[in-house]
Copies of this chain bind each other. A is one copy, B any other.
């Protein structure tokens, strides 16, 4: 462990002591947004970096409160798809596996192969439980408006994950209809797998995600540990280790499918081939760093995606998983622009939080 990491742990120990004395205390400031001479806005939150045995390498803020990982859960939601044999039964490619783990931008490079995959399993867009939303990729959305095309559930950023769920339902010999229900065997497999990989027992609290499937809450520390299991699968049973390795490889090989053109997950994965980064709604980010055997999980208290992007880039830089240059530097030190594109401030992690 680098000395800077030890320093963080000491800071955290002080914080944790104070926290127990004053339960109303907030998480520390992870990201600040300046304008001219002042800090205009701040984002508080928590970060956990864990190895596969659950040993913490970095802990900032309250990492024991259950949080919803939202789409950061997708790599784990893909595990039963492969482990059950369903992925092989339907001849899933690595590109399809990457799409199962994706919060995609709704570009043709995402929707076309997902539609083809659906037709291979005897399903269609009509079977998707998720609702339609505007593609995140602005060029695609604009082209659709110009041509009068409407977005469908296929453009939902989760349509790859849902197609994975439908494939798993087929593989389990279960009805596809209702695959999004808490009681459906698909979702029971997801919760069981998550608990095993995160080292948790008992029922997990759950809410309904934007795409209609259950999302299971767990502490950031446990989420980081589950991600570390992908980074260092040596402690997993051999079949699951192989499954996790296959999912991780599929993500790493296809950064543009896991998110989309210009998106932070994609540019971070392109800059450091060998890591996987995955965003989740409401300020969540996870990353998998095989070279260090570590998993990272963070949650911005207020749910701001802009802060989660800045924080994950900064954590990866602090861990030396990424060089502080190029897109990673730009995410960690993002200029605030006015409508004439002049720089009027900066979004960044305050000094001393991670390094």
Contacts and interface: CB of A to CB of B under 8 A. Distances in A.
A84 interface: no
Contacts of A145: 142, 145-146
A38 B209 CA distance: 13
A210 B307 contact: no
Interface stretch (A102-110, A119-127, A128-136): A128-136
Nearest to A303: B41
B283 A339 contact: no
B41 A339 contact: no
Contact of A208 (B35, B41, B131): B35
14 contacts: A25-B26, A36-B206, A37-B205, A37-B207, A41-B303, A43-B302, A44-B302, A130-B339, A207-B345, A209-B338, A209-B344, A212-B342, A301-B302, A304-B304
A137 B94 CA distance: 41
Interface in A311-344: 338-342, 344
A113 B217 CA distance: 51
A66 interface: yes
Interface string A186-230: 000000000000000000011111111001010000000000000
A341 B153 CA distance: 13
Contact of A38 (B42, B153, B205, B345): B205
Interface in A31-60: 33, 35-38, 40-44
Contact of A307 (B40, B146, B148, B302): B302
Nearest to A145: B145
Contacts of A209: 338, 344
Interface in A277-306: 282-283, 300-304
Given A145-B145, A212-B338, A38 B66 contact: yes
Interface string A16-29: 00100010111010
A156 interface: yes
Give how many copies assemble into the complex. Answer: 2
Given A67-B40, A211-B339, A344-B208, A33 B133 contact: no
Given A37-B207, A207-B37, A132 B338 contact: no
A68 interface: yes
A302 B42 contact: yes
Contacts of A42: 301-302
A339 B131 contact: yes
Given A207-B345, A212-B342, 6 more contacts: A35-B208, A38-B66, A132-B339, A146-B146, A212-B340, A302-B302
A339 B301 contact: no
A40 B65 CA distance: 10
A340 B207 contact: no
Contacts of A307: 302
A35 B281 CA distance: 12
Contacts of A345: 207
A38 B339 contact: no
A229 B33 CA distance: 31
Contacts of A146: 145-146, 148
A338 B211 contact: yes
